[in-house]
Amino acid sequence: MRWSLYLTGVVVSGFGTTAMWLVSGIWVKSLTGSDSLAALASFALWAPVLAGPLLGTLADRVRRRPLMVVLNLAMAVLLPLLLWVESADRVWLLFAVLVLYGAQGAVHDAAEQALMTVAVDEKRLGTFNGLRMTANESMKLIAPLVAAGLFARYGGGPVALLDAASFAVAAGLFALMPVREERPARPESRNWWRETAEGVRLLRGSRVLVPLVATGAFTMLLAGVNGAAIYAVVDKGLGHAPAYAGVLYAVQGVGSVLAGLVTGPLLRRVPERTLAAVGLALFAVAVGVRGALPYEATALAASAVIGLGMPWVLIAVMTAVQKEAPAEAVGRVAATANTLVMAPNALAIALGAGLVAVTDVRVLLPVAAVAGAIWALMTLTPLSRRRATPVSPTG
């Protein structure tokens, strides 16, 4: 029962979130005519992830299920304010809401991961995380079409209202989850910075998590380079219009849905480090093939494999954090890991944009693939296999 309620909440909220994330940049572009401001819309959503360790501390101070309910209700109340954004001089309000949106997401993700350690048996965490990934990715196949249609006909306001409604429904579903949580113990010191540093220390002290988080970060670094090169692949490699990138992303989404479905059975047979290494290897090979062999069939097949491999790395990291972190610190450790994994992606997008300008993608992407394959092999070295002695949250 709790699984179905939770996953339904993820689907509903994910639908609205995907729609809003797509429309935000288009909305800014339509009002201002500025490509740079439109790009900043995505950055506004992503930027709060950099403060993940600080924001994740909140998830360890209170019970997680009520926190998730409050966060969803807050966004349901906040998003209708965007109906006021009807001209370029009001775009500042859209940016302000997007920053709060990103901050809410960072706290919510940390609370979700922490709550699952209470609601789901440890042996089933991999299965559950895979289903969560499938739920999220499936919405990315549907929501963009709905959002684009709504925006084209009625503007951004109805999309904001749709997202607000999705948050309200998700809040209700999370509130109905039959999960019993103990109130978190009050720490000896209520110093926010010290509690945040504790989450960083716990992550840094784990020989299980450090190599996995590093693998996740390197994967997202390559993903940023690959993302920056996508239009060069479509244009110079395949000879299609830029819109064809949407086809490749859709096929990638199908691969991600499949990845989520098979992750649970895989994690019952292999450890997280093995799944991460295989996922990175598949991702890297597919990136290299898509760059080196500019044919439509190989590009589509490679996109599906990219969608299959990358989620395995992310799910492996998430599951390992849930298993290894002390129960009272899962939120902080999860938020810290998420920041370390996701931050390289933004850096790599900028780096990749520069590299694409001076390097042929038929060279750039195969080189990235070789680097990924080497890193995947390193993930399985003896150092990464040694499990750490459990670290006490008090030192």
The more confident residue out of 255 and 38 is 255
Q: Per the structure block, which two tokens stand in for 121?
A: 């048996």
Mean pLDDT of 259-287: 94
Residue 60: per-residue pLDDT: 82
pLDDT digits (tens, 9 = 90+) for 124-171: 888 888 888 888 888 878 887 788 888 888 889 999 999 999 999 999
Residue pair 237/292 in contact (Cβ under 8 Å)? The answer is: no
Task: Check whether 19 has a pLDDT greater than 50.
Answer: yes
Q: Per the structure block, which two tokens stand in for 43?
A: 């950055």
Residue 84, number of CB atoms within 10 A of its CB:
11
Pick from 55-64, 308-317, 367-376, 386-395: least confident: 386-395
Q: Per the structure block, which two tokens stand in for 210?
A: 């450090």
Residue 54: per-residue pLDDT: 85
Mean pLDDT of 77-99: 94
Q: Contacts from 100-105 at CB under 8 Å and sequence distance 24+? A: 101/20, 101/45, 101/75, 102/44, 102/45, 102/46, 102/47, 102/48, 102/49, 103/48, 103/51, 103/55, 104/71, 104/74, 104/75, 105/17, 105/45, 105/48
Residue 395: per-residue pLDDT: 39
Residue 377: per-residue pLDDT: 93
CA distance linking residue 6 with residue 259, whole number of Å: 20
pTM of the shown model: 0.80
SS3 116: helix
Nearest Cα to Cα of residue 368 among 250, 240, 280, 245 = 280
The more confident residue out of 385 and 326 is 326
What would you report as the CA-atom Rg of the chain, rounded to the nearest whole angstrom?
21
At residue 52, what is the residue type?
A: G
DSSP 8-state class, residue 42: H
Task: Check whether 282 has a pLDDT greater than 90.
Answer: yes
Task: Check whether 353 has a pLDDT greater than 60.
Answer: yes
Residue pair 159/19 in contact (Cβ under 8 Å)? The answer is: yes
The more confident residue out of 16 and 197 is 16
User: What length is written for the chain?
Assistant: 395
Question: Which positions ≥6 away from 382 have C-beta within 8 Å?
Answer: none
The more confident residue out of 213 and 224 is 213
Residue pair 203/53 in contact (Cβ under 8 Å)? The answer is: no
Pick from 8-12, 89-93, 355-359: least confident: 355-359
Q: Check the CA dihedral 163-165-166-167 and report its sign.
A: positive
Residue 141: per-residue pLDDT: 81
Q: Which domains does the chain have, with CATH numbers?
A: 2-177 (1.20.1250.20), 203-385 (1.20.1250.20)
CA distance linking residue 115 with residue 71, whole number of Å: 14
Average pLDDT, the chain: 85
Task: Check whether 276 has a pLDDT greater than 80.
Answer: yes
Residue 95: per-residue pLDDT: 93
